Amino acid sequence: MMTTEDITSGSVMSRALEHPITMSRRAALRGMGTSLTAAALGTAAAPALSAELESCTELTALIDAHRAAAAAYDLALDAESEANERVNTITGTERRLTPVSVAADGSPARGGKVEVRYYDKGASAREHIAAFHENLRRSYCTGTSWAESAFPGHDETMAQAIYAAECRALDALAKAVSDYEQLLIDMGLTAAEAETHRASHAEADALAAVWVFRPRSEEELVTKRDYLAAHEAAHGDIGTDDMTVEAIMRLLRNELAPSANASGEA
């Protein structure tokens, strides 16, 4: 599992990397019914899994969706920039990343940390997200300790394919969180209550992945029901105080009904 320290040190990026959506990307992959886990990606089956992801309709949103979601970071980063300016005024210094060791070609040395660009003033979320994507790609493709431990034995092409799949999952999860909060609003909560409700549950982001894509068939309903039941068995609940598996299944079945009727099914 990626840790902040594997990639960056002492920057705004560290908080971005700790965002629950980012840290839950593997949970999102599992929640969408795929078989991907860190262990699975590290096996000989990884090329086949990657090919499956490339053709999976659940993972069609790539960087564009992430960039759109990145707008939500802008206000926080503006506040961080203002805070930096105040600190710099008081101390006369600027915080900078400690350089990492690099290989002869300028890439991070094997086993070293990946240096992250640090925008000390006025950076937008989009710039940070772009830097995150690039640094994450480099960490996969230059054999750092994190890449080796998470995806051993993969060449650059394979690493890029895995990275692209995880980006898609991250994008989908960002949408899922939004959809989940909208569901709570539809149930009568205010927007603020919905956000607080979701954020108060440690497993909420994993649960939210269930809502990424509305079911297109009874088979998908079964897959989602099985996931929710497994979550309930493992954690004693499904990430909400007031919804049961069957209640969620009824909502999902209602979502399925319009598409089924449109296709002439009962």
- What domain count does the chain have? 1
Tokens of 133: 């994507």
Q: Which pLDDT score is estimated for 177?
A: 53
Q: What SS3 class is residue 238?
A: coil
In a domain, 213, yes or no: no
Q: Which pLDDT score is estimated for 246?
A: 73
* Per-residue pLDDT of the chain in tens (266 residues, 90 and over written 9): 333 333 333 333 333 333 333 334 333 333 332 332 223 333 333 444 344 444 433 333 333 333 444 443 344 444 444 444 444 443 333 333 333 333 444 443 333 333 333 333 344 444 444 544 454 444 444 444 333 433 444 444 544 554 555 455 455 545 555 655 565 566 566 666 666 655 544 333 334 434 433 455 677 667 667 666 665 666 665 544 455 667 667 666 665 655 444 444 43
In a domain, 147, yes or no: yes
Say how far apart CA 109 and CA 100 lie, in whole Å: 8
pTM of the model: 0.24
Say how far apart CA 264 and CA 266 lie, in whole Å: 7
In a domain, 243, yes or no: no
Give, in degrees to the nearest 5, the angle at Cα 167 between 134 and 45. 110
Question: From its phi and psi, is residue 122 left (phi > 0), alpha (psi between -120 and 50) or beta?
Answer: left
Q: Give the DSSP H/E element, type plus range, for residue 134.
A: helix 125-141
Structural domain containing residue 112: 4-189
Rounded to 5 degrees, what are φ and ψ at 19?
-60, 140
